[in-house]
Structure 1
Amino acid sequence: MSFEEIKKHITRYRDEGKALFTTSSFQSHSLVLLHILSRIDPKIPVVFINTGYHFPETVRFKDEIAQSFGLEVVDLKSDVPKFMQRGQDGRLLFTSDPDHCCYLNKTQPVDSLLLRHDVWINGVRGDQSAVRKAMKVEQPAPHGSIRFHPMLDWNAKMIYGYQKEYNLPKHPLESNGYLSIGCEPCTRKVDPDMMEREARWYGMNKVECGLHTDLVEKQS
């Protein structure tokens, strides 16, 4: 989807009186959508899902990008305090039940956010996973909201081209071998024989946090 097509969709949503927001992990590839939105409407809230487990480099980078792009970034946190996020053995959930950890810290907070918004602008790309490849540009989400996926047909080469054209900064951990960056306990460096997202939840038989599986209306 081109810049003009993305702008047309957002203008239509605005004309219809819809409440918009986007989410971002502030990885290097995520900045392309943020930069596009900053050129269209920098007032669209950018939600940073603050799990409490992010690399400190990510948090600092988020603040730098917000200032550089002129974005309104909002931290979204779980209502469940960390001392209650423990398994029967007393250990934090990311060590024993990462699915439930993701649910409490990511999926549940965004689900609540969808109650108050109409359109979730989401930067998933079809080349990232089979789950994402099966998505549509516009897709129903919970509570009568819509997921808008403007980057769905973009690939890594297109992302790189945009980054180069606009001289976008890179996440500080990328030069250290981290290409898919999430929560610190569940992220590792990418080995030469690994796909990019295999560095997330390595060895846990898990490839998605739930945002792109649970927060999609099931269609018959």
Structure 2
Amino acid sequence: MEVTFVGQTSHPTCKPTEVFTLTQQWCDAAQRDDVTEANRLQAEIDKHDRPAKLGPSALWYAKQGWPVFPLAPVGYTDPRRPDFLGDGKKPYPHTRGFKDATLDPDQVRRWWTDMPDSNIGLATGVMFDVIDIDGPTGVASLAQLGPDALPDVHGKVDTPRGTHYYVSPTGDGNRAGVKPGIDYRGAGGYVCAPPSAIGDRRYSWLIQPSPEIRKSA
């Protein structure tokens, strides 16, 4: 099942976020040239669409059964690794990256207490896999694959460069370049999760994760 535009239906247990719904209403008002309503909706969006704290979000993910680990924020440097510069998506140097991912709330708290600006890494291939659509090239490739290209989508994330589709795990590993602009993140991989940020762009849920991929369901 493909989910590619506002208003299309995803898996029945996936719920659009409030910001997603408000944005759809804002688009409708803008198309009607209803400036007053568009401004009102924009004010509502601004109230809701504020960056959440990373630590509590990481704890919530762990509670869902999603192994988490910290990613070095943009601009992070380490005197032990002068060649390392954090880009928001790489694990900290001298760590094992996704191999350190855990569900242990105490460990998660320690990480985000010691490193509160860390982005959130989620290990894929455990509770879900992710189809990564990168930029216009990825969107074009997905369109060429047709309406039945995607399996049931159990969550959808807006990324700084495109979209992440959360799907049921298959046991497959990572596959880069499935099509131009499309990567598959499975066993042995990871993704950056909301509300992580890359510069002034942050990851955000467009469609919240369904109970199909959540342990607490």
Give the TM-score category using the shorter length: under 0.3
Larger Rg: 2
Q: TM-score, normalised by structure 1?
A: 0.25
**As a proportion of its length, which structure holds more strand?**
2
**As a proportion of its length, which structure holds more helix?**
1
Q: TM-score, normalised by structure 2?
A: 0.25
